[in-house]
């Protein structure tokens, strides 16, 4: 690329600017940048702004910053390009630093400056810095700028929990104009803070909804455990003719996994395959991961494995989801086989993380592979340099307790570097019940019930009562039950789901609200009588000793009966 050295006029500047506009590759950009420097135009802000814009769009933030550093007096547009670039980069904190430097140099900020800086605050969860920006926006008179206001709503909504949503709502209510992006930002805030009912009200108030609106609402319901509402919204979205995307599919599949709704999950799988075939597009790794999770949670781990094997690309989530899927189904050897396969991937493109090892340890725990569990627990520390978290210790305590190695499990709890939680003590007490270790169960439960609030002590007292009952020490059972009454302890009722002909039925212990409740209870009674006639032993929950028939029936409806 040759440029006449004597052609230093406005025409030259326009020529270089046009080259930047038509620039396609980084190599071309470097050549143009060299001409800008050679022709002493590196202080021309409007040319540099265009160069920075190309660097940022192409992802070359380092080249952009090197060019920016050479500018003695950057214009607002140039500052904005760099603040925008870093706000969207992997280092958004640099965006805030540049904004503060811009203020120190007394450069004039505009609506774009504030919007890009607010984007960085949102990504960083910098609520305090965002509030400071809000103050400057008010002083500058930019508070009526729709673009700035929308970014303010978003910053508060994604950062501050309930407080942030209240602040976001305050900004939102003051706006005279709102776009669908503004509404979506508020919707995200409500769903992230768990205020699903408020989010639902906002959703139906929206004058216009797009795929982001629907997906946010579906994902929010699914995350909050409202799977039925999530799938109802998904069907409503479908009937409304809104084109779904991969994120929508993931949210709906998450709800299917929670409910065990195989029918809807399979339909979504079929729809995804047909849509991608028509569009001639590859299937997203994230959608495949969601399919694996859905099939595994519905108990169809073989279908999950088919999806996994067909994947052309897999990330660490793919491997972890498959390992966990096998582990939950008690297929520990298959889970370990997948893990070994992961370790042998030739390009070493994926490395196991904390969740992967949690799945491996769960597989060992669910299938009683003590030696393998010990090996992988040490492997995490020594070979991978990962510090085990409380969940990893929980798996090991559960594994050792189920295997009858109660002293080893108890010692692991006492020596772990963090305070044990309910799950760990529950696993140890569960092992005490299986192996009838009354002394350790009594010792641990006594310690815990003196330290915990009554509602948290309930599970431990129930377990201790069951340990005593297994040993037929009815006086101690009665004593524990009396302690529960005195402390006002109540065990939460059991809850079950079942899908029949595509309909999800939800049952709570003692609940008669189902339309077929009488027939259901009658069937349970019939099954119980037949089991007793066949000389099967029914182990009723011992905390129900001296209770009436009705209480026993309630407990039989859930997993308290072992036949």
Residue pLDDT, tens place only, 386-407: 899 999 999 999 999 999 999 9
Q: How many domains does the chain have?
A: 2
Per-residue pLDDT of the chain (563 residues; tens, 9 = 90+): 445 554 456 666 666 666 666 666 767 666 666 666 666 565 666 677 777 777 777 778 888 888 888 888 888 988 999 999 999 999 999 999 999 999 999 899 999 999 999 999 999 999 999 999 999 999 988 888 889 999 999 999 988 688 999 999 999 999 989 999 999 999 999 999 889 999 999 999 999 999 999 999 999 999 998 999 999 999 999 999 998 888 999 999 999 999 999 999 999 999 888 877 767 677 789 999 999 999 999 999 999 999 999 999 999 999 999 999 999 999 999 999 999 999 887 666 788 999 999 999 999 998 999 999 999 999 988 888 889 999 999 999 999 999 999 999 999 999 999 988 878 888 888 888 888 888 888 877 777 766 655 556 666 777 777 777 877 778 777 777 777 676 665 655 666 666 666 566 666 666 666 777 778 778 877 887 777 666 544 444 444 433 333 443 444 444 333 22
The pLDDT score that the predictor gives to residue 439 is 85
Last residue of a domain, which of 492, 521, 538? 492
How do residues 96-141 score in pLDDT, each as one tens digit? 999 999 999 989 999 999 999 999 999 999 999 999 999 999 998 8
DSSP character for 495?
A: E
Whether residue 428 is found in the same domain as residue 474: yes
466/503 same-domain check: no
| Helices and strands (H, E) in the chain, number of each type | 30, 2
pLDDT of 117: 95
Q: Interhelix angle for 211-223 vs 227-239, to 10°?
A: 160
- Both 460 and 514 in a single domain? no
Assess contact for 369 and 332: CB atoms under 8 A: yes
499 and 488: one domain? no
Residues 469 and 533 in one domain: no
In a domain, 477, yes or no: yes
Say if residue 486 is in the same domain as residue 437: yes
Is 460 among the domain residues? yes
Q: Are residues 420 and 485 in the same domain?
A: yes
3-state secondary structure of 499: strand
Does one domain contain both 433 and 488?
Answer: yes
Last residue of a domain, which of 442, 473, 492? 492
Cα 189 to Cα 51, 122, 168, 524, distances in angstroms: 36, 11, 8, 45
What is the SS3 string spanning 398-411?
Answer: HHHHHCCCHHHHHH
Alpha-carbon gap, residue 321 to 250, rounded angstroms: 14
What's the domain range around 502?
495-556
Q: Does one domain contain both 457 and 500?
A: no
534 and 468 part of one domain: no
Measured CA to CA, the distance from residue 286 to residue 245 in angstroms comes to 12
Asked, for residue 301, whether it belongs to a domain, the answer is: no
> Do 485 and 506 reside in the same domain of the chain?
no
Residue where a domain stops, chosen among 439, 473, 492: 492
CA 55 – CA 65 distance, rounded (Å): 9
Which tokens in the block code for residue 388? 């085990």
Q: How many residues does the chain have?
A: 563
From residue 532, alpha-carbon distances to 71, 181, 524, 529 in Å are: 88, 63, 12, 5
452 within domain boundaries: yes
Q: What is the pTM of this model?
A: 0.75
Distance CA 342, CA 351 (A): 8
479 and 515 belong to one structural domain: no
Q: Is residue 88 part of a domain?
A: no
Alpha-carbon span 499 to 471, nearest angstrom: 38
Dihedral angle, C-alpha 64, 68, 69, 72, nearest 10 °: 170
Around Cβ 522, how many Cβ atoms within 10 Å? 11
């Amino acid at each position: 690329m040759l440029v006449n050295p004597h052609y230093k006029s406005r025409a030259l500047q326009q020529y270089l600017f046009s080259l930047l506009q038509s620039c396609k590759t980084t190599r071309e950009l470097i050549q143009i940048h060299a001409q800008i420097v050679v022709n002493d135009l590196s202080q021309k802000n409007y040319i540099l702004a265009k160069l920075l814009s190309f660097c940022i769009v192409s992802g070359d933030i380092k080249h952009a910053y090197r060019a920016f550093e050479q500018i003695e007096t950057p214009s607002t547009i140039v500052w904005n390009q760099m603040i925008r670039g870093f706000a969207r980069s992997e280092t958004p904190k640099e965006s805030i630093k540049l904004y503060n430097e811009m203020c120190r140099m007394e450069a004039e900020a505009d609506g774009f400056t504030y919007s890009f800086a607010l984007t960085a605050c949102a990504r960083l969860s910098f609520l305090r810095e965002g509030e400071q920006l809000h103050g400057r926006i008010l002083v500058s008179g930019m508070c009526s700028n729709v673009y700035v206001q929308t970014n303010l709503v978003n910053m508060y909504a994604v950062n501050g929990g309930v407080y942030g949503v209240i602040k976001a709502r305050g900004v939102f209510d003051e706006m005279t104009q709102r776009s669908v992006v503004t509404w979506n930002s508020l919707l995200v805030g409500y769903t992230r803070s768990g205020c699903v009912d408020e989010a639902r009200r906002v959703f139906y108030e929206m004058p216009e909804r797009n795929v982001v609106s629907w997906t946010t609402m579906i994902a929010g319901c699914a995350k909050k455990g409202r799977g039925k509402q999530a799938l109802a919204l998904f069907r409503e979205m479908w009937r409304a003719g809104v084109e779904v995307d991969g994120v929508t599919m993931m949210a709906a599949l998450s709800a299917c996994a929670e409910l065990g709704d195989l029918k809807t999950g399979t339909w979504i799988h079929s729809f995804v395959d047909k849509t991608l075939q028509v569009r001639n597009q590859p299937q997203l790794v994230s959608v495949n991961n969601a399919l694996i999770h859905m099939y595994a949670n519905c108990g169809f781990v073989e279908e999950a494995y088919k999806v996994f094997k067909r994947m052309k690309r897999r990330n660490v989530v793919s491997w972890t989801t498959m390992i966990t899927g096998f582990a939950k189904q008690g297929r520990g050897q298959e889970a370990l086989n997948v893990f070994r396969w992961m370790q042998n991937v030739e390009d070493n493109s994926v490395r196991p993380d904390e969740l992967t090892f949690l799945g491996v340890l769960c597989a060992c725990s669910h299938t009683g592979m003590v030696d393998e569990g010990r090996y992988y627990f040490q492997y995490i520390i020594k070979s991978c340099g990962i510090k085990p978290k409380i969940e990893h210790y929980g798996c090991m305590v559960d594994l050792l307790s189920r295997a009858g190695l109660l002293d080893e499990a108890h010692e692991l709890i006492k020596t772990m570097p963090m305070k044990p939680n309910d799950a760990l003590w529950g696993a140890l007490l569960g092992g005490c019940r299986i192996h009838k270790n009354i002394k350790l169960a009594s010792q641990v439960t006594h310690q815990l019930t003196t330290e915990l609030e009554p509602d948290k002590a309930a599970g431990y007292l129930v377990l201790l009562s069951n340990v005593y009952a297994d040993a037929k020490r009815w006086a101690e059972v009665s004593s524990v039950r009396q302690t529960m009454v005195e402390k006002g302890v109540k065990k939460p009722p059991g809850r079950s789901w079942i899908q029949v002909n595509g309909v999800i039925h939800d049952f709570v212990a003692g609940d008669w609200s189902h339309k077929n409740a009488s027939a259901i209870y009658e069937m349970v009674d019939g099954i119980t009588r037949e089991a007793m006639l066949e000389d099967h032993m029914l182990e009723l929950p011992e905390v129900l000793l001296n209770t009436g028939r009705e209480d026993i029936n309630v407990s039989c409806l859930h997993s308290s009966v072992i036949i």
